[in-house]
Amino acid sequence: MENTSEKNTATFTHLSTLSQYIIPFGNYIFPLIIWTNYKDKSEFVDHHGKQTLNFQLSLLLYTLILALIAIPIFLTVFLQNIPMEAVFNDHDIHIRNFNFQANIGMLSVGITAVVLFGLLKFAEFFLVIYASIKASNGELYKYPLTIPFIK
């Protein structure tokens, strides 16, 4: 049975990933620091620390894949339409000579990748909160769609 200190440490390990919204790479740095300090002291904290880091690394991989899909598509579509011209009239912007019909398929794939990224970040926030609640209740939690990088 886990004591209150272990539950709090495991909970804080999950919640520390939310520091990414304030500190760049905080979602990797803080859970790693907490996990390395407590992994030998508590099997419960070790489990939650591994889950947290595996989840964050999996999200990084998924984000890189989506970026590798979306960025080249948007760059290709934009560079193919370089002779377009923008006209600014009374607070309105009119773009001429941009061919949407020829690029609708590629734009759809790029927009889908961006939407999936947004959904991924939205799900991440709520899964971190849910995992924190599970840890504070003394339950083991395993994030969905997580690749076990650290075993």
> End-to-end distance of the chain based on CA atoms, in angstroms?
22
Nearest of 22, 9, 18 to residue 59 by alpha carbon: 18
Specify the pLDDT at position 139. Answer: 94
**Whole-structure pTM value:** 0.83
For the chain, what percent of residues have pLDDT higher than 90?
71
Q: pLDDT tens-digit profile of 117-128?
A: 999 999 999 999
Specify the pLDDT at position 80. Answer: 72
Specify the pLDDT at position 130. Answer: 97
Coil/strand/helix, residue 85: strand
Please enumerate in sequence order all residues whose Cβ is within 8 A of that of 75, keeping only pairs 6 or more positions apart, or say none.
none
Q: pLDDT tens-digit profile of 44-85?
A: 999 999 999 999 999 999 999 999 999 998 888 777 766 656
Distances (CA, A) of 145 to 64, 74, 78, 80, 148: 16, 27, 33, 37, 10
